[in-house]
Amino acid sequence: MSLPAYDQAIEAVPMAMLVVDAQMRLIMANAAARELFGAGILGRPFVTVVRHPGVNDAVEKVLGGAEAGPEKLAAMISVQGRDLSVQTMVSPLALEDGRGAALAFEDRSSLDAAEQMRRDFVANVSHELRTPLTALMGFIETLRGPARNDEAVRDRFLGIMEREAGRMNRLVGDLLSLSRVEAEERRRPVQGVDLTAILRNVVASLSPTAEAAGAEVEAIMPDTPVTVMGDPDQLVQVFDNLVENGLKYGRAGGKVSVSFAAIAHEPVLRGPAVAITVADQGEGISSEHLPRLTERFYRVDTHRSREQGGTGLGLAIVKHIVNRHRGRLKIESEKGVGSRFTVILPDPRATGRGAEPKG
């Protein structure tokens, strides 16, 4: 049976649409509405399908009022065991046998979830900034008052204040990085960069940190360049974060190792790839935390992260940069043994050979 073009168009609209007659019976439901409310709804009283007093009132108003215009309302409806946030529009119809109403439902659940995430993010940022700010204000007050003439206390407090200001500075820097990376995420890098050179830089720049932690960074690198399409500054940021985390959360006096591997066919990337693994000998991370580590501000141990000067944004930045490079981030960890963070990037060489690992 083929429907008239107009009905076919309504059927194809992705928004759920219903029509009720003057007795408030459902006389039409397009494909999206049948999917949303269930296949057998035609002929049923409207109130038994959309159980929402506000929507029901709007339909009654449209059916009853001579001057009725379209009614719009936001509603939380419960359909087939799911709660959905919808924007509903009820419009009057003149049917052959009397007044009717057309309803259109726009699913706003994902918009609501995005809005909630934005609110949570702002709340988190405010909280993260307020903690060091409160400390700074407290120390300023003490330095002005009781500790005014105590040189030793003053020096100690200034040291703490410097650390807290540094934390705020890092947080703002990470927030800016994150927003920059997010803004560019759809733009794929087109420049060829040598990963071995990047890693050599990172290891050199972190050697004072490693020394301070009494730890060693060992990089086992191929002696020929390993080229990927990449943004050099962002790739430095990725490995800087991963190696620094290895030092922060690794075993005191332990080793953080960086190694390369070639993957002939990476199933998710569907092609040859280069894998760089940063492994530490720290206490490891329990498996329930692993899927959440790249969320902004997610920390396994907030106290430990703060003590180490962490912002809780490092892995979120890493994840976004890796996404921009069309790569994958793999996190493996074993309690008591250590953690391995592997960045897998597409190998631009069509030969499929990938980089030659060494060592």
* CB count in 10 Å sphere of residue 183: 9
Residues contacting 149, CB < 8 A, separation 6+: none
The yes or no reply on residue 280 touching ligand ADP (CB under 6 A) is: yes
State the virtual CA torsion across 25, 31, 32, 36 in degrees, nearest 10.
60
Q: What is the largest CA-CA distance in the chain?
A: 94
Residue (88 or 333) nearer to ligand ADP, CB:
333
Residue from 255, 299, 330, 349 in contact with ligand ADP (CB under 6 A): 299
Closer residue to ligand ADP, CB minimum distance, 272 or 282: 282
182 binds ligand ADP (CB under 6 A): no
- Closest to ligand ADP by CB, 222 vs 314, is 314
Task: Return d(Cα 328, Cα 272) in angstroms, integer.
Answer: 13
Residue 301 is a binding residue for ligand ADP (CB under 6 A): yes
What is the strand order of the sheet 98-107 is part of? 26-29, 16-20, 98-107, 82-95, 71-79
Length of the chain counted residue by residue: 359
**DSSP summary character for residue 170:** H
- The DSSP code for 25 is B
Residue 243 found at the interface with ligand ADP (CB under 6 A) = no
Give the residue, chosen from 196, 234, 237, 305, that forms a contact with ligand ADP under the rule CB under 6 A: 305
Asked whether the beta carbons of 347 and 273 are under 8 A apart, the reply is: yes
Q: Is 339 in the site for ligand ADP (CB under 6 A)?
A: yes
184/204 Cα distance (integer angstroms): 28
* Binding of ligand ADP by 132 (CB under 6 A): no
- The residue among 327 and 338 lying less far from ligand ADP, judged by its C-beta, is 338
Q: Is 108 in the site for ligand ADP (CB under 6 A)?
A: no
Q: Is 88 exposed, middle or buried (0-12, 13-18, 19+ CB in 10 A)?
A: buried
Closest by CA position to 258, among listed 190, 340, 323: 340
262 or 317: CB nearest ligand ADP: 317
Of the candidate residues 245, 257, 259, 281, the single one contacting ligand ADP (CB under 6 A): 245
Report, in Å, the least distance between residue 139 CB and ligand ADP: 23
Q: Which residue is listed with tokens 């329930």?
A: 288
Choosing from 59, 213, 315, 345, the residue that interacts with ligand ADP (CB under 6 A) is 315
Cα separation, 197 vs 233, whole angstroms: 12
Helix, strand counts (H, E) of the chain: 10, 12
Q: Closest distance between ligand ADP and the C-beta of residue 306, in Å?
A: 8
Q: Which of 132, 272, 314, 327 binds ligand ADP (CB under 6 A)?
A: 314
Q: Is 227 in the site for ligand ADP (CB under 6 A)?
A: no
Span from 132-140, 232-240, 308-316, 347-355 in contact with ligand ADP (CB under 6 A)? 308-316
239 near ligand ADP, rule: CB under 6 A: no
Closer to ligand ADP by Cβ: residue 293 or 343:
293
Site of interaction with ligand ADP (CB under 6 A): 241, 245-246, 249, 280, 282, 285, 293, 299-301, 305, 310-316, 339
